[in-house]
């Protein structure tokens, strides 16, 4: 990855590195900046399809996301996607079975960054990013609905794709692919519609 990200953080990275700046990749430069700020909360980093990827501890993910949004060197002002992965039976050994994945984009500088947060089956929860980007609202609900990962401080963490009687999490690798679940009660979503109308002053 070359361009604005390399230029924006070059000066600070050169000061922190014993290597000449020109010998470092943009991902290495960014890694130095994040590790200087968050230490061992940055577990690993690499580059995938010209995008830097950082694996982070869940305890610091909210701080890392806020830093990447607010720091003028990065200005990742757009959360383009938030999803999850179930690595059950994955051929390559992973840190944990699950991971939450964030894709960030800087509209000012043009760069993109991916963050991955490993989560153990015994502790499937992580802080919400809703207060940083409102787009996280429905994205986090979808991850909760399909994977069963809880987002702390989310304002309305309920199913969004499956109905209210649905049991289990359909995108987990151990969910039976041919299982069907019938809804037996009304699921009109009027509670959400009423709230939105009141917020907009239409009721």
pLDDT given at position 21:
44
CA dihedral for 127, 84, 119, 117, sign (positive or negative): negative
pLDDT in tens, 91-117: 999 999 999 999 999 999 888 999 999
DSSP state of 61: H
pLDDT, average across residues 117-140: 98
- Cα distance between residue 64 and residue 82, in whole Å: 15
pLDDT given at position 11:
46
Q: How many domains does the chain have?
A: 1
What CATH number has the domain bearing residue 131?
A: 3.30.460.80
What residues make up the domain containing 140? 4-199
Is residue 8 predicted with pLDDT exceeding 70? no
Helix, coil or strand: residue 30: helix
Looking from the CA of 20 toward its CB, the CA atoms found within 13 Å total 2
pLDDT given at position 23:
58
- Could you tell me what percent of the chain has a pLDDT over 70? 88
Is residue 36 predicted with pLDDT exceeding 70? yes
| pTM for the structure as a whole | 0.83
Helix, coil or strand: residue 116: strand
Count of residues making up the chain: 203
**What CA–CA distances, in Å, run from 162 to 40, 66, 167?**
38, 31, 9
Is residue 87 predicted with pLDDT exceeding 90? yes
Cβ atoms 45, 31 nearer than 8 A: yes
pLDDT given at position 191:
75
pLDDT higher at 73 or 80: 80
């Amino acid at each position: 990855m070359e361009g604005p990200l390399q230029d924006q953080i070059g000066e600070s990275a050169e000061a922190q590195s014993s290597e000449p700046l020109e010998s470092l990749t943009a991902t290495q430069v960014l890694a130095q900046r994040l590790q200087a700020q968050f230490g061992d909360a940055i577990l690993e980093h690499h580059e995938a399809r010209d995008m830097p990827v950082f694996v982070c501890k869940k305890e610091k993910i909210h701080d890392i996301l806020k830093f990447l949004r607010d720091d003028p060197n990065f200005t990742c002002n757009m959360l383009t996607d938030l999803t999850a992965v179930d690595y059950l039976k994955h051929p390559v050994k992973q840190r944990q079975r699950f991971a939450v994945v964030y894709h960030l984009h800087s509209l000012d500088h043009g760069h993109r960054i991916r963050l991955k947060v490993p989560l153990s089956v015994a502790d499937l929860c992580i802080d919400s990013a809703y207060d940083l980007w409102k787009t996280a609202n429905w994205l986090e609900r979808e991850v909760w609905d399909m994977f069963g990962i809880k987002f702390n401080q989310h304002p309305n963490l309920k199913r969004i794709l499956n109905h209210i009687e649905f049991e289990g999490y359909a995108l987990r690798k151990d969910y039976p692919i041919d299982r069907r679940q019938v809804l037996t009660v009304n699921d009109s979503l009027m509670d959400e519609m009423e709230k939105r109308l009141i917020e907009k002053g239409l009721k």
